[in-house]
A and B are shown apart, each in its own frame.
Chain A
Amino acid sequence: MSQPSKRKGLSTTAIHAGEQRQKIADSITDPIVCASTFTFPNSQSVIDYIEQKQEREEYGRYGNPGEKVVEKKLASLENGEHAILYSSGMAAIVGLLMAKLNAGDEVVFFDECYHRSREFCSKHLSRFGVITRQVKACDYNAMEAAITPNTKMLVSESPTNPHMSIVDLERFAELGKKHNVDTLIDATLATPYNVRPLDFGVDYVLHSATKYLAGHNDLLAGVIIGNKEKLEPVRNLRGIMGAINSAHNINLLARGLKTFELRMQRHNENGQAIAEFLESHPSIEKVYYPGLDSHNYCELARDTMRGFGGVVTFLVKDADWRATADIVDSVNIPRIAPSMGGAESLIEQPLVMSYFECTPEERIRFGIPDNMIRMACGLENSEDLIADLKQALEKVTKKVSATSRQQ
């Protein structure tokens, strides 16, 4: 990870980028500007603003001073030119796709993407005549074959959720360039601490900033980062559609970013430690974590990423969905909840949490077996998390073997 000498350290950037050194009222931190609208001293000033002679705020839906600061921080962390904040990660992807795709256009997805993103395209964008194609994750030939003259966007996550597959970002970006198609990576699970997709030539990076960027399980936010000119229509559409974030949330997001580097170091360490513990445990069938030698994309991950985050997915050996649920119910530290990236560890069984309404055949197609658990490691001491998982696995294994003896 060589950095050009002029680049400041990641924490220095997270703390100071985008902020005025001398702020209003000389305060050390930015004020929370809750104003819904911004006043003009006179009519000439309104005209100057409309003629773009003066940069300033107008109405809360178009922008907010605190939001501009965080957008600059996020752009800076991703080595990007421009960032646009939204009220959630979904609002961000919807905002981008709605601005960039027209009737008749096509979008190609790797199939291991967040199911709501794919649902938005296949069920809602289709109503406006946009065609969505899905190909197997990380199959670049299949993706290339799916590109037609109408294709406008290639989309993937990296790492994917919950399988933790890693996309070859250089290859993915080249595919887009070769066919003159924009590329989008949802890097929520990676974060700019571990990889910066724009450095590989990808056009847009998306984050659910709710997760690692904010980092405290206490706000929702989304962001798109990329080239300023390309993002101009996206920003304009956001001003019309209105999926903006609140000034209070943005303040908490800015605050969360200040410890971003420290938190990511710990999430990476905890993820690796928990993955290694699980892989060595006799009750575990398989662990999906890019930092393990056994992972399909281990080499690519090590070549391109600095660490692999806090999400660890695993399969419990010889367990049906009920026995798997018992393990989830037996842990004491992680809470049962969707989401990830906060200080508190979270745990869930994808079958129950996100795929409960799918048919067994659909779950097989999506690669979601009944005995799969996804753990999102927080910032706790890894010894405590390992001891907790250990007791949960032992308790359930004991129960299972007792039941089988009775039978």
Chain B
Amino acid sequence: MKFRTRSIHVGNRRDPGTGAVVPPIHVASTYVQPGAGDWGEFDYSRSGNPTRKNLETTIASLENGIGGLAFASGMAATHCVTMLMEAGDNIVAGCDIYGGTYRLLHKIVNRNNVSVTLADSTNTATLEAAITDKTKLIWIESPGNPLMSITDIEACAEIARRRGILIGIDNTFATPVLTRPLDLGVDIVMHSATKYLGGHSDALGGVLVVKDKELFDRLYFVQNSTGAVMSPWDSFLTSRGIKTLELRVKAQSETALQLAQFLDQDSRVSRVLYPGLPGHPNHDRAAKQMVGGFGAMLSFEVNGDYHQAKKVAESTKIFQLAVSLGAVESLIEQPASMSHASYDAADRAAHGITDGLIRLSVGLEHVEDLQADLDQALTAN
């Protein structure tokens, strides 16, 4: 079955009890067992829940994995992966990563004597040079956040394989519609399901998908032991959102490309960061790795300082000023003051997150409406 058909039918089992075409939302916290010490498919909702299981089955299919795990948030999912580390281990992560992941690695994971090295993952030689014999995990994002850098996923996976270490990727920006990292050799795919998977700004969640049963069991052990599971309600809403995932991502990517082209021509904008533009430093790699679009996230720098960028971000009428991304409503934000404020100022500067940078999450609105909105906001500056 093709992608869209699977997004609708895999994990959307017909309810055998009622015939309901959409499975019921199972809110039960616990399940009656056939006998003492004799366990049914579900025993307690932290360990497994039918509604969550449906979502996990769907996302595993869309990422071409063998199993999926759904968490209370994307950070809970990433945290679960870091729990595979032991004291003394090292994690090498890309430098263009979500601010929350940066904070988790530098301010939480390090407390357990797990060290973190940031390296430019777009340069595979630099990434490999950062690996030591203590390194047990490579963590990358592509496209990166907020600079839209493109990492060669297959090349990084090859390094991990050669060095005998795990590699995980935050695939939130690309979504399985455009990139399926497990097919490229990655071990663990992570999503903030809050973003494109759910797609409607109304559910929080994270997922992990893997292709190896033993790794799945290790991650499941952590999830079940630590308990940051996705609620049945959010699982239902995420499953519902996934039914239109391909339609949304393709339409939003198309609009983003047109907006990037518009901004690229505009003298009020000094730089546009979008992998779909031929001028993007990793455009060729993106064209090879992302199939069917370049995603719906784009960043640009206004000709101006912190305050002028702030004013543009505050002047739009359709784009709404908020962090998060990936939903039907278009959002605008200033990474320096919002999504990446948890980076240290020095790290922000080192990694190119300038004060004039603005990040857009392009939604489903008509491209002409969005373009007119950006145009008037830049004029307001």
What is the CA–CA distance of A360 and B277 in the complex, to the nearest angstrom?
Answer: 64
Residues on the B chain within 8 Å of A346, using CB:
21
What is the CA–CA distance of A217 and B318 in the complex, to the nearest angstrom?
Answer: 30
Interface positions, chain B 79-100, Cβ under 8 Å from A, are none
What is the CA–CA distance of A136 and B244 in the complex, to the nearest angstrom?
Answer: 39
Residues on the B chain within 8 Å of A384, using CB:
1-2, 5
A333 at the binding interface (Cβ < 8 Å): yes
Determine if B8 and A258 form an interchain contact, defined as CB atoms under 8 angstroms apart. no
For A258, the closest partner residue in chain B by CB is B328
Determine if A333 and B320 form an interchain contact, defined as CB atoms under 8 angstroms apart. no
Determine if A259 and B9 form an interchain contact, defined as CB atoms under 8 angstroms apart. no
What is the CA–CA distance of A381 and B5 in the complex, to the nearest angstrom?
Answer: 6
Task: Give, as a whole number of angstroms, the nearest-CB distance from A70 to chain B.
Answer: 14
A344 at the binding interface (Cβ < 8 Å): yes
Interface positions, chain A 250-268, Cβ under 8 Å from B, are 252, 255, 258-259, 261-263, 265-266
> Which stretch of A51-59, A289-297, A335-343 is in the interface?
A335-343
Determine if B14 and A16 form an interchain contact, defined as CB atoms under 8 angstroms apart. no
Residues on the B chain within 8 Å of A266, using CB:
247
Task: Give, as a whole number of angstroms, the nearest-CB distance from B362 to chain A.
Answer: 12
A21 at the binding interface (Cβ < 8 Å): yes
Q: Which of B3, B21, B324, B369 contacts A335 (CB 8 A)?
A: B21
Determine if A10 and B328 form an interchain contact, defined as CB atoms under 8 angstroms apart. no
What is the CA–CA distance of A344 and B9 in the complex, to the nearest angstrom?
Answer: 8
What is the CA–CA distance of A74 and B264 in the complex, to the nearest angstrom?
Answer: 36
Determine if A381 and B369 form an interchain contact, defined as CB atoms under 8 angstroms apart. no
Determine if A378 and B8 form an interchain contact, defined as CB atoms under 8 angstroms apart. yes
- A255 touching B200 in the complex, CB below 8 Å, given contacts A15-B329, A337-B21: yes
Task: Give, as a whole number of angstroms, the nearest-CB distance from B117 to chain A.
Answer: 36
B349 at the binding interface (Cβ < 8 Å): no
Task: Give, as a whole number of angstroms, the nearest-CB distance from B262 to chain A.
Answer: 16
Determine if A335 and B14 form an interchain contact, defined as CB atoms under 8 angstroms apart. yes
B322 at the binding interface (Cβ < 8 Å): yes
For B331, the closest partner residue in chain A by CB is A28
Determine if A380 and B247 form an interchain contact, defined as CB atoms under 8 angstroms apart. no
Determine if A29 and B8 form an interchain contact, defined as CB atoms under 8 angstroms apart. no
Residues on the A chain within 8 Å of B21, using CB:
217, 335, 337, 339, 342, 344, 346
Determine if B201 and A28 form an interchain contact, defined as CB atoms under 8 angstroms apart. yes
Determine if B4 and A381 form an interchain contact, defined as CB atoms under 8 angstroms apart. yes
Task: Give, as a whole number of angstroms, the nearest-CB distance from B179 to chain A.
Answer: 19
Interface string of B316-331 (1 = CB under 8 A from A): 0110101010011101
Task: Give, as a whole number of angstroms, the nearest-CB distance from B119 to chain A.
Answer: 35
What is the CA–CA distance of A10 and B202 in the complex, to the nearest angstrom?
Answer: 21
Interface string of A241-279 (1 = CB under 8 A from B): 000000000001001001101110110000000000000
Q: How many residues of A contact B (CB 8 A)?
A: 37
Residues on the B chain within 8 Å of A335, using CB:
14, 21
For B255, the closest partner residue in chain A by CB is A11
B186 at the binding interface (Cβ < 8 Å): no
Interface positions, chain B 322-381, Cβ under 8 Å from A, are 322, 324, 327-329, 331, 363-369
Determine if B366 and A11 form an interchain contact, defined as CB atoms under 8 angstroms apart. yes
Interface string of A13-40 (1 = CB under 8 A from B): 0011000010000001100000000000
Residues on the A chain within 8 Å of B19, using CB:
337
Interface range for B: 35 or more
Residues on the A chain within 8 Å of B328, using CB:
11, 15, 258-259
B72 at the binding interface (Cβ < 8 Å): no
- A29 touching B202 in the complex, CB below 8 Å, given contacts A216-B243, A218-B240: yes
Residues on the A chain within 8 Å of B22, using CB:
216-218, 342, 344
Total contacts A to B, CB within 8 angstroms?
A: 106
- A343 touching B365 in the complex, CB below 8 Å, given contacts A28-B322, A333-B5, A379-B8: no
Determine if B2 and A383 form an interchain contact, defined as CB atoms under 8 angstroms apart. yes
Determine if B4 and A379 form an interchain contact, defined as CB atoms under 8 angstroms apart. yes
For B21, the closest partner residue in chain A by CB is A217
Determine if B320 and A8 form an interchain contact, defined as CB atoms under 8 angstroms apart. no
Task: Give, as a whole number of angstroms, the nearest-CB distance from A86 to chain B.
Answer: 21
A129 at the binding interface (Cβ < 8 Å): no
What is the CA–CA distance of A122 and B87 in the complex, to the nearest angstrom?
Answer: 78
Determine if B320 and A28 form an interchain contact, defined as CB atoms under 8 angstroms apart. yes
Residues on the B chain within 8 Å of A15, using CB:
328-329, 363-365
What is the CA–CA distance of A385 and B328 in the complex, to the nearest angstrom?
Answer: 27
For B12, the closest partner residue in chain A by CB is A344
For A11, the closest partner residue in chain B by CB is B364
B248 at the binding interface (Cβ < 8 Å): yes
Determine if A333 and B369 form an interchain contact, defined as CB atoms under 8 angstroms apart. no
Q: Which of B2, B202, B364 contacts A259 (CB 8 A)?
A: B364
Determine if A10 and B8 form an interchain contact, defined as CB atoms under 8 angstroms apart. no
- A16 touching B364 in the complex, CB below 8 Å, given contacts A217-B22, A262-B247, A380-B5: no
- A263 touching B244 in the complex, CB below 8 Å, given contacts A29-B201, A381-B4: yes
For B327, the closest partner residue in chain A by CB is A28
B251 at the binding interface (Cβ < 8 Å): yes
Residues on the B chain within 8 Å of A262, using CB:
244, 247-248, 251, 364
Residues on the B chain within 8 Å of A379, using CB:
4, 8, 243-244, 247
Residues on the A chain within 8 Å of B202, using CB:
29, 255
A9 at the binding interface (Cβ < 8 Å): yes
A12 at the binding interface (Cβ < 8 Å): yes
For A216, the closest partner residue in chain B by CB is B240
What is the CA–CA distance of A10 and B366 in the complex, to the nearest angstrom?
Answer: 7
What is the CA–CA distance of A252 and B22 in the complex, to the nearest angstrom?
Answer: 13
Determine if B247 and A259 form an interchain contact, defined as CB atoms under 8 angstroms apart. yes
Determine if A381 and B320 form an interchain contact, defined as CB atoms under 8 angstroms apart. no
Determine if B12 and A29 form an interchain contact, defined as CB atoms under 8 angstroms apart. no
Residues on the A chain within 8 Å of B2, using CB:
380-381, 383-384
Determine if A11 and B3 form an interchain contact, defined as CB atoms under 8 angstroms apart. no
Task: Give, as a whole number of angstroms, the nearest-CB distance from B240 to chain A.
Answer: 6
For A21, the closest partner residue in chain B by CB is B320
What is the CA–CA distance of A339 and B22 in the complex, to the nearest angstrom?
Answer: 13
Task: Give, as a whole number of angstroms, the nearest-CB distance from B305 to chain A.
Answer: 27
What is the CA–CA distance of A325 and B322 in the complex, to the nearest angstrom?
Answer: 53
Could you tell me which A residues sit within 8 Å of B by CB distance? 8-12, 15-16, 21, 28-29, 216-218, 252, 255, 258-259, 261-263, 265-266, 333, 335, 337, 339, 342-344, 346, 378-381, 383-385
CB<8 Å pairs between A and B, sample of 15: A11-B328, A11-B366, A12-B365, A15-B329, A15-B364, A16-B318, A21-B317, A28-B322, A218-B240, A258-B328, A259-B328, A262-B251, A333-B5, A379-B243, A381-B2
Could you tell me which B residues sit within 8 Å of A by CB distance? 1-5, 8-9, 12, 14, 19, 21-22, 200-202, 237, 240, 243-244, 247-248, 251, 317-318, 320, 322, 324, 327-329, 331, 363-369
Nearest 10 pairs of A and B residues by beta carbon: A9-B366, A381-B2, A380-B5, A12-B365, A343-B243, A262-B247, A258-B328, A384-B5, A218-B22, A12-B369
**A9-B369, A258-B200 given; 5 more Cβ-contact pairs under 8 Å:** A9-B367, A28-B331, A29-B200, A265-B247, A343-B243
